[in-house]
Amino acid sequence: MRIEVVGTPPEPPFFLVSNHLSYTDVPLLCAVTKGVFVAKGEVESWFLAGRIVRDMGTIFINRQNRRDIPRAGSEIIQRLEKGEGVIVFPEGTSTKGEAVLPFNSSFLQFAAQTDCPVSYASITYKTPNDSPKASDTVCWWDEKTFAEHLWYLFQVREFTATINFGDEPVRNHNRKELAQILWKKVNEKFIPVL
């Protein structure tokens, strides 16, 4: 993976949101920001990937239990107070990269309540012209298992990941407005995956 960075990554402590295209987003953002991630609880049980992200200090959230959101928010605040950067994918799923899905505002509840500045970034992938499209090989959006998708990814000899960081963090005391503002800003920087 070749990495191109546009803009300036935030310095810890930070809270960052980004669109989500694939599990490759995790090492990409980790390499550039050194942040920890908020992930759905199921990821912890995934073969190999679960152990890796657990060892990275990932904050897991049970999305089936709304009462887990305040607990995750408290853990995010603790991590920020310890000087860490925290990254969340508020789309709630990875996509083919045609568009940025609406942001789930519940991921931003703690930021709205605490007036936490939220940084933002947009990710896109590109493969060489003689390779299969990044939307089919790098992006993980269909029903393929992790192992099946990894096999497709390994068919690509190289790909470029571009991460475009926003200029100024965003603050808003209303989580729904905050989600909408951040979605708009990420969308403005978003380049569809081909």
The predicted pLDDT at position 116 comes to 95
- Most distant pair of Cα atoms in the chain: their distance: 49
Distance of CA 164 to the CA centre of its chain: 13
**pLDDT tens over the chain, length 194 residues:** 999 999 999 999 999 999 999 999 999 999 999 999 988 777 777 766 777 777 888 888 887 888 888 889 899 999 999 999 999 999 999 999 999 999 999 989 999 999 999 999 999 999 999 999 999 999 999 888 877 888 889 889 899 999 999 999 999 999 999 999 999 999 999 999 98
* Helix or strand run (H / E) with residue 148: helix 146-153
The predicted pLDDT at position 22 comes to 95
Distance of CA 101 to the CA centre of its chain: 12
Radius of gyration of the chain from Cα atoms?
16
Distance of CA 22 to the CA centre of its chain: 9
The predicted pLDDT at position 157 comes to 87
User: Can you tell me whether residue 29 is helix, strand or coil?
Assistant: helix
Tokens found for residue 193: 């995956």
Tokens found for residue 110: 């703690």
The predicted pLDDT at position 145 comes to 82
Can you give the residue ranges of every domain in the chain? 2-189
Residue 83: count of CB within 10 angstroms of its CB: 10
**What backbone phi and psi angles, to 5 degrees, belong to 2?**
-95, 135
The predicted pLDDT at position 146 comes to 79
The predicted pLDDT at position 135 comes to 95
The predicted pLDDT at position 68 comes to 87
The predicted pLDDT at position 57 comes to 84
Helices (H) and strands (E) in the chain, counts: 7, 7
| Amino acid making up residue 175 | R
Rounded CA separation 71/166 (Å): 28
